[in-house]
Amino acid sequence: MTQGSHEQFSRLIDTPTGTEEFKTKTVRSGAYAMTGEAVDFVLRLASVVILARLLAPEYFGLISMVTAVTAIADRFKDLGLASATIQSPTLTYAQLSTLFWVNTLVGIVMAGAVAALAYPIALFYGDPRLTYITLAIATSFLWSGAANQHHALLRRTMRFRQIAVIQVAASALSIVVAVAMAIQGLGYWALVAREVSRNVFVSVGAWICFPWMPGLPSMSSGVGRMLRFGADITGFNVAFFISQSMDQVLIGRIFGAHALGIYRQGYQLVLAPMNQIAYPVRVVTESALSRLQTEVEAYQRYYRNILKAVSLVTIPLGLFMAVYAEEIVAVVLGEQWLDAIPIFRVLAIAAFLQPAGATAGAVMISCGHSRRFFWLGLLSSVVLVLLFVAGIPYGPTGVASAHIWALWLLLVPKLYWSFKNTPVSVGIFFSSIARPLAAGTAMVAVSLAFKSVRLTGPDAAGLAGDLAVAAAVYLGACLLIPGGRAELTGLVSGVAEPLGLSRFLPAWATPAANNRLP
């Protein structure tokens, strides 16, 4: 590589190190990531609404038959090397070039493996159309393999605005392609084109936003540690995917399609709002903490504030969903889905602490403890599956309850081992979530009392009123708890200031300088 190329590469992977600049970049990255996820969710929902009116339900079923297989292959598509790139304290041109070619090779192998399954899938379902659908969708792995490292570099350098633009633009353009093809009467090929073209647009966007050209691979570049790191991440992802799917497999096999449909709807209704918050926070947290792994005080400070911010939203959200399960299910899903209420409530109880607990994974990854991350993930997955089996005699709700048991049985041991030999401790974790948890408990008590005296049945207006009362109680409790006002105002102003929103803050949210997000 020439000196000019080396300088260009150094400029591309440069990230800010100043406290204020890094804080600003982190907050803005989180805002961009959440906005991108929200807009992408709306676009995908809109595409379902539009395409459902242009295409037969059968065509959606055909795509689902194939994507059920590709979802498994998707867990192997980058071998965890994107996380290795993000976490690595130092990164050379030779290492990155080698990882690029490894990812490209993996993409080719995965595309070939999925293509080889085309005929068996068609034979299994008895529909020859699936052969060509599978072959077409298999090409997606070629595109993603050639852009995994470019996308990882965007995350490493915390260019989440570009990532959000790529994500939204790719979704919008792929929907335009699909709708145009559907209008032309091309049937299920419109849905195939949406799947494939989105990968094409994402890959092209990543190359445009991070204009880096790889060199030749070199196994002497010290890339071995990164390959082992990636293998651990992949192992965790596979174990997690299998364990998180096993409850639905067991319910479908033992209790039938109706019970599984009820369970899936309740599960998705809990998961959708949590994921809209938890996923973008996780990817930003992993990138930010990886850049701070050698600065203990700064690492602890950012982890505390990230955890406080996550808990401030997800703890009351999960508790509210648990208290108002009947109203939420009736309003969102309709009267025919009332059997999902107990499942929804159980899963909401399990979910209210999960986003906070999941931050432990970002700590392990950012500190390079990938092997520990894998083994803890594998152990948790085995325990969860055993608890699913133990819950079978109690029906689908009993299976769902396994999520609660797994959370409370494993929370403290997992946190202890997750934080061992890192800048974070179990004490830091619980002290960071203490105030949101106390305020959430007060919210639950008042909400239960308020709910017991309501005179109307569940409807959208009533649920909106319940949400307003719960939010007011929660906010009031946060402000009244000793130290709560300073913590809340520090977090609010620490987010508002980098986003240029300070002038819109109410008077109570204008803190002293020492209360601001460091």
Q: Is 56 helix (H, G, I), strand (E, B) or coil?
A: coil
Structure tokens at 148: 């995994």
Q: How many helices (H) and strands (E) does the chain have?
A: 23, 0
- Higher per-residue pLDDT: 190 or 251: 190
Structure tokens at 476: 């009031």
Report how far residue 447's alpha carbon sits from residue 50's, in angstroms, rounded to the nearest whole number: 38
Q: What angle do CA 119, 67, 47 make, to 5 degrees?
A: 130
Looking at residue 437, its pLDDT comes to: 93
Report how far residue 451's alpha carbon sits from residue 148's, in angstroms, rounded to the nearest whole number: 49
For residue 234, the one-letter residue type is T
Within a 10 A sphere around the Cβ of 231, how many other Cβ atoms? 17
Looking at residue 2, its pLDDT comes to: 46
Angle between helices 160-183 and 19-54 (to 10 degrees): 10
For residue 246, the one-letter residue type is M
Q: Specify the DSSP element, H or E, that contains 473.
A: helix 460-480
Domain count, the chain: 1
pLDDT one-digit tens code per residue, 98-142: 888 988 998 999 899 989 988 988 888 788 888 999 999 999 999
Looking at residue 215, its pLDDT comes to: 79
Looking at residue 378, its pLDDT comes to: 92
In terms of Cβ atoms closer than 10 Å to its own Cβ (0-12, 13-18, 19+), residue 312 is buried
Report how far residue 482's alpha carbon sits from residue 302's, in angstroms, rounded to the nearest whole number: 22
Report how far residue 513's alpha carbon sits from residue 170's, in angstroms, rounded to the nearest whole number: 41
Residue 277 is assigned to a structural domain of this protein = no
- pLDDT (average), residues 257-271: 79
Confidence band, pLDDT 50/70/90 cuts, at residue 386: very high
pLDDT one-digit tens code per residue, 336-351: 778 888 988 999 998 8
pLDDT one-digit tens code per residue, 203-240: 999 999 888 888 787 766 667 788 888 888 888 888 88
Structure tokens at 55: 């295409």
Of 374, 360, 365, 236, nearest to 306 by C-alpha is 360
Mean pLDDT is highest, among 183-192, 219-228, 487-496, for: 183-192
Structure tokens at 518: 């460091």
pTM: 0.78
Tell me how far the alpha carbon of residue 85 is from its chain's centroid. 19
Structure tokens at 149: 């490292």
Structure tokens at 469: 């009362």
For residues 169 and 197, the answer to whether their CB atoms sit within 8 Å is: no
Residue 254 is assigned to a structural domain of this protein = no
Residue 406 is assigned to a structural domain of this protein = no
Residue 346 is assigned to a structural domain of this protein = no
For residues 250 and 392, the answer to whether their CB atoms sit within 8 Å is: yes
Report how far residue 140's alpha carbon sits from residue 142's, in angstroms, rounded to the nearest whole number: 5
Q: Is 183 helix (H, G, I), strand (E, B) or coil?
A: helix
Angle between helices 148-156 and 160-183 (to 10 degrees): 140
Structure tokens at 308: 């406080």
Of 14, 153, 220, nearest to 6 by C-alpha is 14
For residues 307 and 433, the answer to whether their CB atoms sit within 8 Å is: yes
Residue 39 is assigned to a structural domain of this protein = yes
For residues 360 and 236, the answer to whether their CB atoms sit within 8 Å is: no
Tell me the residue length of the chain. 518
Residue 287 is assigned to a structural domain of this protein = no
Q: Given the structure tokens 């609404």, which residue do they identify? A: 49
Structure tokens at 363: 């700590």
Structure tokens at 426: 């179990």
Residue 16 is assigned to a structural domain of this protein = yes
Report how far residue 386's alpha carbon sits from residue 366's, in angstroms, rounded to the nearest whole number: 30
- pLDDT (average), residues 313-326: 91
- The CA R_g of the chain, rounded to the nearest whole Å, is 24
Of 72, 88, 99, 86, nearest to 29 by C-alpha is 86
For residue 211, the one-letter residue type is P
Which of 177-181, 296-300, 316-320, 503-507 comes out lowest in average pLDDT?
503-507
Note down the domain range covering 187: 1-222
pLDDT one-digit tens code per residue, 75-90: 777 778 888 888 787 7
Residue 500 is assigned to a structural domain of this protein = no
Residue 394 has pLDDT above 60, yes or no: yes
Of 443, 430, 432, nearest to 491 by C-alpha is 432
Q: What angle do CA 137, 271, 279 make, to 5 degrees?
A: 70
DSSP string, 99-153: HHHHHHHHHHHHHHHHHHTHHHHHHHHT-THHHHHHHHHHTHHHHHHTTHHHHHH
For residues 310 and 281, the answer to whether their CB atoms sit within 8 Å is: yes
